Every structure is written in C-alpha cells, then in structure tokens.
Amino acid sequence: MVLRQSTTGELIAGKSAGDVRMPLAPAATISTTIEVLLAIPAAAATGDYEVHLALPDVWPSIENDPRFAVRFANADDTARSQRWDAATARFRTGTTLTVE
C-alpha cells in the first residue's frame, strides 16, 4: 500500500505484505484480507492522500522496474477515480485518506 499526498505528491509506503501468493488462491472467487502496516510519520503533510496498491517484483535488482510488477486486473474506472499507473506500477484505488 502506498499513500500519495494529493497536493505535494509525497509518498508514504506501507510495510511489505509478504509473499501474497500464499493467501491468494488462483482464480479466487472469495474475498481475502491482507494486512499491511502503515505508519503516518509525524512530519507528514496534512491533507488528502490517494490510496494506491503496488506489488513490485521481489528481486531488489528489478523491484523498481514497472515492467516486472504485478498489474491488477481491475479496469480503469474514471467515475471512481480508479486507474492503473504504468509509470509507477501502482493501482489507484479511488479511496482517499485524510491526514489532519
């Protein structure tokens, strides 16, 4: 999980969810909950943060290369502000978190 501050673009990344292959069954037909720890730093800018999901490759040599990230199957939905960002390999969920 990655939070992106809507005005400044500041990023706050959650701790790794671990190996997501284990809790997610192939072609799953049920919902699965995965917990990701995310601490908002005391110095974080106040305001709205977009909630993004990212599954980079596990190998450090290519973890920052979007070509090797898992792309979510969700279709872009402009009405819900949901979209895949190919440059950052993140899916914007359309959810906003407000930090006060």
Closest to 7 in 3D by CA, of 53, 44, 43, 39: 44
pLDDT in tens, 3-54: 999 999 999 988 766 666 666 666 667 777 777 788 899 999 999 999 999 9
Residue 90's pLDDT band (boundaries 50, 70, 90)?
A: very high
Give the Å distances, CA to CA, from 65 to 13, 50, 60, 93: 17, 22, 10, 21
pTM of whole model > 0.85? no
**What pLDDT, on a 0 to 100 scale, did the predictor assign at position 21?**
63
